[in-house]
Structure 1
Amino acid sequence: MSANHSIVLGICGTSGSGKTTLLEAVLPKLREAGLVVSVIKHSHHDLQLDAPGKDSFRHRQAGACEVMVVSPHRFGLFAETAAELTLDQQLSRLSPCDLVLLEGHKAQPVPKLEIYRTALGKPPLFASDPSIIAVASDVALNAPCPVLDLNHPEAVARFIVGWLARRKAAAPRA
């Protein structure tokens, strides 16, 4: 992992399992715990983040390799790439933080929290992915890792805070 972001946790699950919904509920709890958290959301689709006719779109169309749009409250960076960025390249573009949550990067070899809903009728990922360290589910499961109640984001956040503290304590000192 990137030197700026050595602690990464994947949030994985099948489509429709509620990854984004859980993150929306957990992120404020992590911030309340004093953590600075960034999220990288993976998409298999081509992204069009700016709109035709906007200055940023026109600059990219004219040949700029990167266009940054800045306001008093946020910024966005639009960049053309020849290939999908590696995880290290993605992480290197983020500011330093306590934790980076990866949503939808289920093939990455990083520790992961699986979101599992029985109603989707799909097998859980933990059965075939040893990097899954916990499962947040809507039912009790027999799993080789902790099973958290998907309907209690406070418990999920507490698990993440505890896991992160253990990772930081075990990290070699620079």
Structure 2
Amino acid sequence: MAPETLTPARILEATEDVLRRFGPAKATVVDVARALGVSHGSVYRHFGSKAALREAVTDRWLGQTHTELSAVAEGDAPAGERLRAWLAGLFAAKRRKAGGDPELFATYMVLAEENSGTVERHIETMIGQLAGIVEDGVRDGEFVSDEPRVTARALWDATGRFHDPSYAGEWERPGIDGAFEAVCTLLLRGLRAP
């Protein structure tokens, strides 16, 4: 059987496994290469440095959320329904990541700190999706906003408790779903055209 082609995607998958196993402080490019059965030079041909590899794996992890939510943001439902579904989808995705694999989530928190530019691009993508929903709502007469991008940033900030990883410890507490619904209802009421 011929060996599987070494691709950036395979390297990123292996990197995630290595990070899960060893943690961010001990995981090395050599560990990734060993897991793939290749030389570390082969990994460096795709990612020029350990920092570039760690940034790419962080970007991949954050990008999964973009993909999940872009379908909601670009959907055909009224803007209010899409906004609520988008916020709920973001909260669900973050909870799933934090609760489904806590060790990997903690690892990604370390990587996100190292790659603040990647995190900022992630946030800008998310705010862009929110701005698109707000713009559609304004166009359709459902929402009022003079500056959809500013409104989108305010929505992001107002819902931080439900997506900012620093609040992950609260996401499984009793009453969190009710608190989330209350915030969504308040935000939607504030956006509605009179």
User: Does TM-score exceed 0.5, indicating one fold?
Assistant: no
Q: Which has the higher contact order (CA 8 A, sep 6+)?
A: 1
TM (norm. structure 1) is 0.29
More strand by share: 1
More helix by share: 2
